[in-house]
Amino acid sequence: RHALRVQLSLYHDYSEDLQIKDGETKTVSAAMKPSFGSLEVSSTPEEGADVHIDGKSAGKTPYSNNRQPSGKYVLRVTKALFNDVEEEITVSDGMPTKRSVTLGNNFGELIISAPENTILLNGRQVGTGSYTARLSPGKYTVRAERNQLYLPDEKEVFLAIGEKKEVTLGAKPRLGSISVYVEPVDARDAEIFVNNESKGKAPVVVPLMIGTYSMLARKANFLDKSESVAIRENEQQKLTLTLVTY
């Protein structure tokens, strides 16, 4: 008399008592019963969440394992900017176990419009012209920059869970101005050009971005008079151009 035992991973052991007579050949068919089931995990409103089983990473949703060992497990599903979900599950022999997990969002949406500007979020460059992102709730500093001719535009933004906030930014030009007069009296209404662009007749006040400009006065029967002028921020300058006749 003999005790037969057959073992195979993921199957229950097969046991049978055998009695073999002298010279006998005996064939045994061992019907192995699975000690596993199938496990499927999905997530809403988005897939791509991390699946952890008993604290170990198993993959991402939609997750499927057709040979999950039978037993009780702690299932945890996580995804950045969503609340974690944890529950106990039981996988039974030969049976499917399916879980659809609903992830609660833990973010707001920030939309920044800043045409022709570089966009910074908390001091880090994140885009040009426009930027959209899901962010954890909290306070953020958003900033739009151009070149040295513009003043940056900066705001503090408070973002709540589920909130969609739109912010418009734009760097402001750094300005000065110049008042242009022309002498003599006969030429006082001369046409004024700034970098070859007409700005009207003198006397005239011309707001300009900081920088160096060519100022020119033109009047019939007088010689043109030009002069280079440096415009400084927040300063109102005065320029008098004297024309002479032919």
pLDDT of residue 29: 87
pLDDT of residue 20: 80
pLDDT of residue 26: 81
pLDDT of residue 81: 95
Over residues 147-164, the mean pLDDT reads 96
In the predicted model, what is the mean pLDDT of the chain? 95
Cα 207 to Cα 50, 141, 180, 199, 233, distances in angstroms: 58, 31, 11, 10, 11
Say if residues 107 and 161 touch (Cβ distance below 8 Å): yes
E-state strands within 122-196: 124-135, 138-145, 150-151, 153-159, 164-168, 172-173, 175-183, 191-194
Please check the confidence at residue 241 and state whether its pLDDT lies above 80: yes
pLDDT band at residue 19, thresholds of 50, 70 and 90?
confident
Please check the confidence at residue 1 and state whether its pLDDT lies above 80: no
Residues in the chain: 246
pLDDT of residue 136: 95
| CA dist., res. 74 & res. 53, Å (int) | 6
Choice between 20 and 56, residue whose per-residue pLDDT is larger: 56
Choice between 20 and 139, residue whose per-residue pLDDT is larger: 139
Per-residue pLDDT tens digits for 108-144? 999 999 999 999 999 999 999 999 999 999 999 999 9
Choice between 74 and 18, residue whose per-residue pLDDT is larger: 74
Please check the confidence at residue 222 and state whether its pLDDT lies above 90: yes
Per-residue pLDDT tens digits for 53-101? 999 999 999 999 999 999 999 999 999 999 999 999 999 999 999 999 9
pLDDT band at residue 25, thresholds of 50, 70 and 90?
confident
Over residues 19-42, the mean pLDDT reads 89
Our CA dihedral for 7, 8, 13, 18, rounded to 10 degrees, sits at: -40
Say if residues 156 and 165 touch (Cβ distance below 8 Å): no
Please check the confidence at residue 22 and state whether its pLDDT lies above 90: no
Say if residues 197 and 213 touch (Cβ distance below 8 Å): no
pLDDT of residue 21: 82
Distance of CA 195 to the CA centre of its chain: 41
